[in-house]
Amino acid sequence: SQQGEEDPQALSIQEGENATMNCSYKTSINNLQWYRQNSGRGLVHLILIRSNEREKHSGRLRVTLDTSKKSSSLLITASRAADTASYFCATAPNSGGYQKVTFGTGTKLQVIP
Amino acid sequence: ETGVTQSPTHLIKTRGQQVTLRCSSQSGHNTVSWYQQALGQGPQFIFQYYREEENGRGNFPPRFSGLQFPNYSSELNVNALELDDSALYLCASTPDRGDSPLHFGNGTRLTVT
């Protein structure tokens, strides 16, 4: 089962514009992560935000987390054609033991040159 | 630093057959997780291995089994293949069981006919 759901499912923007993707999840979490996947390849970790953090930046990426609403957003600024990929949020549970990281359904981003 | 490698990259099997997929974890990583990704979906957690022991399992039947070896490489075995097993199988490693980001291989594309 998918823990998170991304919104929108697909997004098409012009190069240079900003892209915003949202993620909602269901259970309490230890952290939330964002990954990127180019077509048919493995996922690449982008950024991790812990449950006690509200905002985090990495280069052109900005992630926010609202644990009261169980939601997160990923903002990519000044998009490039190379940003074209699927983006997934993933949550790690707020419990001990193994880290079962659960992925959402993904947002497919197309950046038009 | 050697990343996560998976073999084979593509595989075609017939319904009812058995398959073994292989994964070499990133250097220094002792934890391996396996994911199944159907077309257009997010990855689904199959199980995790930590120091040669199964350390957590998702909602997959017993015909999905695994192994981890002393060098932390891992195998995923699937018996009695079904058409719905057609998917991209992803292996990810982490340096421990904690909340480190997942490092993914490029996956094995399995087609069951």
Q: In terms of Cα–Cα distance, which of A16, A29, A25, A21 is closest to A86? A: A21
Q: Is B51 helix (H, G, I), strand (E, B) or coil?
A: coil
pLDDT of the residue at A3:
64
Confidence of residue A5 (pLDDT cuts 50, 70, 90): confident
pLDDT of the residue at A95:
62
Domain span at A52: 5-112
Whether chain A has a CB inside 8 Å of the CB on B41: the answer is yes
pLDDT of the residue at A98:
60
pLDDT above 60 (res B47): yes
pLDDT of the residue at A2:
56
Which one of A2, A33, A103 has the shortest CB-CB distance to B101?
Answer: A33
- The strand ranges marked E within B1-113 are 5-7, 10-13, 19-24, 31-37, 44-50, 53-57, 64-68, 74-78, 87-94, 103-104, 108-112
Q: Do A101 and B102 touch (CB under 8 A)?
A: yes
pLDDT, chain A, mean: 92
pLDDT of the residue at B98:
72
Confidence of residue B5 (pLDDT cuts 50, 70, 90): very high
pLDDT of the residue at B38:
95
Q: Which residues of B touch A4 (CB under 8 A)?
A: 42
What is the CATH classification number for the domain harbouring A69? 2.60.40.10
Determine the Cα–Cα distance for residues B60 and B37; give it in Å rounded to an integer: 13
User: B7 CA to chain A: closest CA distance, Å?
Assistant: 13
Whether chain A has a CB inside 8 Å of the CB on B34: the answer is no
Q: Do A30 and B99 touch (CB under 8 A)?
A: yes
pLDDT of the residue at A97:
55
Region A5-22: what's the mean pLDDT?
95
- A32-41, A55-64, B39-48, B90-99, range with the lowest pLDDT: B90-99
pLDDT, chain B, mean: 94
Q: What is the pLDDT of residues B69-103, one digit of tens each?
A: 999 999 999 999 999 999 999 999 998 777 789 99
Please report, rounded to a whole number, the percentage of residues in chain A having pLDDT higher than 90.
78
Count of structural domains within chain A: 1
Among A5, A25, A43, the strongest candidate for a mutation testing the B interface, having the largest count of B CBs within 10 A, is A43
Confidence of residue B110 (pLDDT cuts 50, 70, 90): very high
Q: Can you read off the two tokens belonging to residue B72? A: 């932390």
pLDDT above 80 (res A1): no
